């Protein structure tokens, strides 16, 4: 069974958790049926002895699928689950559901669903929000946080959402650092 970030189960096969290869094959099948072209699947791959570890479920198990449909670029992304395989399977099932909309005469709803994905801005990484490099020290993270908080805080012309994004970035950056003694 696949586990969501919140810990609850979602996907499984009779042989155990869904594999990355199986999820990719099922997604590619759905995209072919949709008549998608120029398909690119993007995930956080880790190089391992000259090949890529496709089931990598490290700090960022998110997956994005880019393709063209009816001469328009589309993208669907998912990072709800703990492994890239589970996120890939989720996207495959979403494509299957959208194809069903098209089959049953609601192609306009499918177009609107895809438009919703395009309208979402890509999230900034915690490093980008803080303006430091990946792997910065706790001191560098906290200094960058304090400097940016002067502008982001609502009392200084910023907004609640700016400050919330900054707080999230600092917390995420500090959580990502190796823990002492571990």
Mean pLDDT of the region 119-146: 86
What was the pLDDT predicted at 132? 94
Q: Which two tokens stand for residue 90?
A: 């989720």
d(C-alpha 95, C-alpha 27), whole Å = 8
Model pLDDT for residues 85-125, shown as the tens digit of each residue: 888 999 999 999 888 877 777 767 777 776 666 655 666 78
Q: What is the pTM of this model?
A: 0.54
Residue 151, H or E segment: helix 138-152
Give 84's pLDDT tier (boundaries 50, 70, 90). Answer: confident
What was the pLDDT predicted at 2? 45
Give 160's pLDDT tier (boundaries 50, 70, 90). Answer: confident
d(C-alpha 53, C-alpha 48), whole Å = 6
Average pLDDT over the chain, rounded to whole? 78
**13: pLDDT strictly greater than 60:** no
Strands (DSSP E) contained in 58-178 are: 63-69, 72-78
HSE on the CB side for 75, CA within 13 Å? 11
d(C-alpha 46, C-alpha 63), whole Å = 14
What was the pLDDT predicted at 25? 92
**80: pLDDT strictly greater than 90:** no
Mean pLDDT of the region 135-153: 92
Domains in the chain (CATH in brackets) are 20-119 (no CATH), 126-176 (1.10.287)
């Amino acid at each position: 069974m696949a586990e969501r970030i919140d810990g609850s189960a979602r996907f499984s096969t009779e042989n155990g958790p869904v594999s990355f290869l199986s999820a990719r094959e099922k997604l590619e099948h759905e995209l072919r049926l949709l008549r998608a072209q120029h398909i690119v699947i993007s995930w956080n791959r880790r190089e391992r002895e000259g090949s890529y570890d496709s089931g990598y479920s490290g700090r960022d198990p998110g997956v994005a699928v880019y393709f063209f449909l009816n001469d328009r670029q589309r993208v669907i992304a998912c990072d709800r689950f703990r492994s890239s395989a589970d996120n890939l399977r989720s996207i495959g099932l979403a494509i299957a559901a959208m194809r069903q909309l098209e089959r049953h005469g609601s192609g306009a709803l499918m177009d609107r669903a895809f438009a919703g994905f395009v309208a979402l801005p890509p999230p900034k990484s915690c490093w980008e929000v803080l303006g430091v490099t990946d792997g910065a020290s706790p001191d560098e993270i906290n200094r960058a946080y304090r400097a940016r908080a002067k502008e982001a805080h609502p009392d200084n012309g910023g907004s609640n959402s700016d400050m919330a994004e900054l707080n999230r970035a600092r917390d995420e950056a500090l959580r990502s650092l190796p823990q002492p003694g571990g």
